[in-house]
A and B are shown apart, each in its own frame.
Chain A
Amino acid sequence: ETGVTQTPRHLVMGMTNKKSLKCEQHLGHNAMYWYKQSAKKPLELMFVYNFKEQTENNSVPSRFSPECPNSSHLFLHLHTLQPEDSALYLCASSQGGEVGGYTFGSGTRLTVV
């Protein structure tokens, strides 16, 4: 365990389903991130939250909807996904506002069928 916990670890969903990914950190970090990791591609930053406020949305389709109820929890709500959305979704946290490393969760392996 890295201090950042993601559930579920694996998810298979149909294109008409609605599901949510959950991320939790108890490191006292102020910033939380959602990344998409596809095979042989760089990590793609999706959303950034600083002190529960969304500070970045990297042109992510509206079928992905983030929610950050407090500094320790982050959700990614999924709706009407496409097969090309199949990937590993990683959550990370950091102290924020500093040049420092991120702590990542183990990710959710998402397959859209």
Chain B
Amino acid sequence: GEDVEQSLFLSVREGDSSVINCTYTDSSSTYLYWYKQEPGAGLQLLTYIFSNMDMKQDQRLTVLLNKKDKHLSLRIADTQTGDSAIYFCAESKGSSYKLIFGSGTRLLVRP
């Protein structure tokens, strides 16, 4: 989407860390989300962060938020082949419950 941008593709070796980046344009965004989509499936919520936070960690996942630069990243530690999927960043806008999605980053994990 024009409001949320992601790089299209990332390839990493199994066991390495993956960092998926996202930029958004709306400073009124309140929550930012990361979803994972495996082939032929719907979207699985991975994690989300409130806009007044800088970092959130959940097991192998670390989300970093730079509000000044409107930059969000998802770091996956010890990346596994099962992490291969498309990862979508999404923002919520103000009081609306609608989400604006990026175009997704396809992560390929090489053995």
Question: Do the two shown chains form a genuine complex with each other?
Answer: no
Q: Point out residues on A near B: beta carbons under 8 Å.
A: none
Q: Point out residues on B near A: beta carbons under 8 Å.
A: none
